[in-house]
Amino acid sequence: MELAFSAGDITTLVQPLSAKGATGAVIRGFAALRGAQAGELSFLGNAKYRAEVADSAASIVLLPPGYAGEPRPDQLFLFVENPSVALARVCARVEQMLWPRPVSGIHASAVIAPGAQVAPSATVGPLCVLEAGAVVGERAHLQAQVYVGRDAVVGDDCWLHPGVVIAAGCVLRERVRLHAGVVVGSDGFGYEFVAGRHEKVPQVGVVEIGPDVEIGANSTLDRARFSRTLVGEGTKIDNLVQIAHNVVIGRHCLICAQAGISGSTTVGDYVVLGGPAGRAGHLTIGQGCKVDGQTGVRTDLTPGSFVKGTPGLPYQLEQRINVLRPRLPGLFRRVDELEAELARLKKSSAA
């Protein structure tokens, strides 16, 4: 894929508040400030890199309004409210080039059961399988080797990457994007212990995924024991995440890679769950909570909590404990010393 944006193309895309300097370079790539070459675009997305702008060889730099420096010769500064968002807008154009809108229709190698419905504007790629009763909405894109089970629904404008599995009865609303290897609707992990064996508790509910949800590669979402496992509108889930049966996740949450949410847990809107974090089941995590990476949550969290550690504690307290941890061996020695001192003192005062 060859990029070639003129200064004018970039200006049209980012709609800057103002500009300084000029460049005739053709933009062929993007790079961080420090490593950028002529012919590349860069940006100041994080104030801590401010000092690097002056030395950057990037032909175009996206900057926040307050930046005071001057561009080099053949360098263009574009001032925008949020350079990171502006760059995202340029990248969105690149993304269209990287992933051009596929031709609609069903690939000859796909296996479509009688009774499956595919909207005329949808694209069903090579070697996909659609079972009876499956429904694929308008402009939906099943890239390749995707499986859609019986009576499952793929909403309008969904994008399913290669190898995605949607099990029977599960529902994706509009604009859901699932990366390669995501499994929606595997059985929940439920057994009754009867006569020395684990007898399976059938899992006959479904998974329902709200509009504008994105889920990362090889993540797994279990179907409910009955009723539904739910992921709310606009929530974004990273790679290798496990969502257990009967979990209900609110809207606009961020769930980082390798996190796991145990069965029947309720997660409020706007919650952020850091990396690998274990959570006991049947919990309620209130709206706007932040759970730091590697935090074990064992109790309900009130809205707005920020917790860290195992078991999870308020963030400030956990930070304080983490500062003290390396001093624990010293604390033991100090208590040894105190005991010895006190014994001496008692002896001498008894004398």
Positions marked active-site: 245
* Min CB(195)–its own copies separation in Å: 11
Q: Which is nearer to its own copies, 20 or 278 (CB)?
A: 278
34: which residues sit within 8 A by CB, 6+ positions away?
49, 52, 55, 56
Among 12, 34, 85, 115, binds its own copies (CB under 8 A): 85
| Contacts (CB under 8 A) with its own copies, residues 246-285 | 252, 254, 256-258, 260, 262, 274-276, 278-280
Q: How many of the chain's residues bind its own copies (CB under 8 A)?
A: 113
* Min CB(348)–its own copies separation in Å: 7
The HSE-up count of residue 278 (CA atoms within 13 Å, CB side) is 5
| Contacts (CB under 8 A) with its own copies, residues 37-66 | none
* Min CB(205)–its own copies separation in Å: 8
Order across the sheet with 105-106: list the strands. 105-106, 123-124, 141-142, 159-160, 177-178, 214-215, 236-237, 254-255, 272-273, 290-291, 306-308, 313-314
| Contacts (CB under 8 A) with its own copies, residues 278-317 | 278-280, 293-294, 296, 309-311, 313, 317
DSSP H stretches of helix in 184-314: none
Q: Does 147 bind its own copies (CB under 8 A)?
A: yes
The three-state DSSP-derived secondary structure of 95-164 is HHHHCCCCCCEECCCCEECCCCEECCCCEECCCCEECCCCEECCCCEECCCCEECCCCEECCCCEECCCC
| Contacts (CB under 8 A) with its own copies, residues 184-203 | 186-187, 189, 191-192, 194, 196-203
Q: Does 114 bind its own copies (CB under 8 A)?
A: no
* Min CB(269)–its own copies separation in Å: 10
Q: Does 17 bind its own copies (CB under 8 A)?
A: no
